């Protein structure tokens, strides 16, 4: 299982939390009583839910002990559960099953999404956001660098670590089982200070499987250095010296 670093992840807390706010704004469920945040990470997305539905019983679930420890430290009043989304089943159904920036790490969406919908109470909602920026220069660079003969043999798992399905796939999987479904994409333009900031951003998430595939510290540094050089070429500076980092995300809100 991948290890996570809550501090590194939270270096871009505002940018990473904005999609949760945008997703919450589109959920039309009045007075939900039970809410679960799947892949709650350090608790940032769960806190958005708590602010929005302050009377609801809200649980944050994650399979990373590091992330659950960070969430319980930051929000000791919260309810935190260490569990794997891939095998999770609710003991009682939830009015909102919410997941921000997590399910792309969990395989087999043809089975996972219907299963998650079954954990939603009647008239409740499954609300999901996942990054879909696989065509972005930084992702393409990671795949290209992973093909370097120095480590190509070790990269199969890393290259397939993230699920990448189209909106039409989710529509077909969910539509027969729901009363309404909204699907949309948003491309955020994050404003970064330097190419290093982009590498740091991706080091907190998508780069992790590639680095974990390498045993030697020296190779990890070499991979990061090659990525930094590629990012410097691929993302031009604006007139004020900063860099726009376009980041595309897919949103799904499915009502039972």
Q: Which member of 35, 36, 67, 120 binds ligand SAM (CB under 6 A)?
A: 67
Q: Does 231 bind ligand SAM (CB under 6 A)?
A: no
* Dihedral sign from CA coordinates of 41, 256, 26, 198: positive
Residue 19 near residue 249 (C-beta atoms within 8 A) = yes
- How many residues belong to the site for ligand SAM (CB under 6 A)? 21
Q: What does the per-residue mask of binding to ligand SAM show for 3-42, with x meaning CB under 6 A?
A: -x-----------x---x------------------xxx-
Name the one range near ligand SAM by CB under 6 A: 57-65, 164-172, 177-185, 218-226.
57-65
Q: What is the distance between the alpha carbons of residues 148 and 129, in angstroms, rounded to a whole number? A: 32
Residues near 224 by Cβ (< 8 Å), separated by ≥ 6? Answer: 199, 203, 207, 211
Q: Does 106 bind ligand SAM (CB under 6 A)?
A: yes
Question: Between 40 and 146, whose beta carbon lies closer to ligand SAM?
Answer: 40
Asked whether position 235 contacts ligand SAM by CB under 6 A, the answer is: no
- The reply to whether 109 sits near ligand SAM by the rule CB under 6 A is no
What minimum distance in Å lies between the beta carbon of 105 and ligand SAM? Answer: 4
Helices (H), ranges, the chain: 6-9, 13-24, 44-52, 65-74, 109-118, 137-146, 156-159, 167-174, 195-203, 208-212, 217-234
Q: Which is nearer to ligand SAM, 11 or 219 (CB)?
A: 11
Tell me how far apart the alpha carbons of residues 102 and 242 are, in angstroms, rounded to a whole number. Answer: 28
CA dist 154 → 18, 149, 209, 213, 214 (Å)? 35, 10, 11, 6, 7
Question: Which of residues 53, 75, 80, 105 is near ligand SAM by CB under 6 A?
Answer: 105
Rule CB under 6 A: choose which of 86, 90, 178, 226 binds ligand SAM.
Answer: 86
Q: Is 104 in the site for ligand SAM (CB under 6 A)?
A: no
Distance between CA 242 and CA 237 in Å, rounded?
A: 5
What residues make contact with ligand SAM under the rule CB under 6 A? 4, 16, 20, 39-41, 44-45, 62-64, 67, 84-86, 100-102, 105-106, 205
């Amino acid at each position: 299982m991948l290890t996570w670093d809550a501090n590194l992840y939270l270096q871009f807390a505002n940018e990473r939390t904005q999609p949760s706010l945008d997703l919450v704004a589109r959920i039309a469920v009045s007075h939900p009583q039970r809410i679960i945040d799947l892949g709650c990470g350090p608790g940032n997305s769960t806190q958005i839910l708590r602010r929005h539905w302050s009377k609801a019983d809200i649980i944050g679930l994650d399979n990373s002990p590091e992330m659950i420890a960070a969430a319980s430290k930051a929000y000791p009043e919260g309810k935190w559960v260490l569990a794997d989304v891939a095998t999770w089943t609710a003991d009682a159904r939830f009015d909102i099953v919410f997941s921000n920036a997590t399910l792309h790490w969990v395989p087999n969406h043809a089975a996972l999404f219907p299963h998650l919908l079954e954990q939603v109470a009647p008239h409740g909602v499954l609300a999901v956001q996942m990054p879909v920026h696989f065509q972005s220069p930084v992702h393409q660079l990671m795949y290209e660098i992973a093909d370097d003969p120095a480590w190509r043999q070790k990269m199969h798992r890393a290259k397939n670590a993230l699920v990448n399905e189209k909106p039409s796939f989710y529509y077909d999987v969910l539509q027969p089982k729901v009363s309404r479904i909204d699907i949309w994409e948003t491309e955020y333009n994050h404003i970064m200070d330097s190419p290093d900031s982009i590498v740091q951003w991706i080091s907190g998430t998508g780069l992790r499987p590639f680095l974990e595939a390498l045993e030697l510290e020296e190779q990890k540094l070499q991979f990061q250095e090659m990525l930094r050089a590629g990012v410097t070429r691929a993302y031009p500076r604006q007139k004020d010296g900063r860099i726009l980092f376009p980041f595309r995300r897919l949103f799904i809100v499915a009502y039972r």
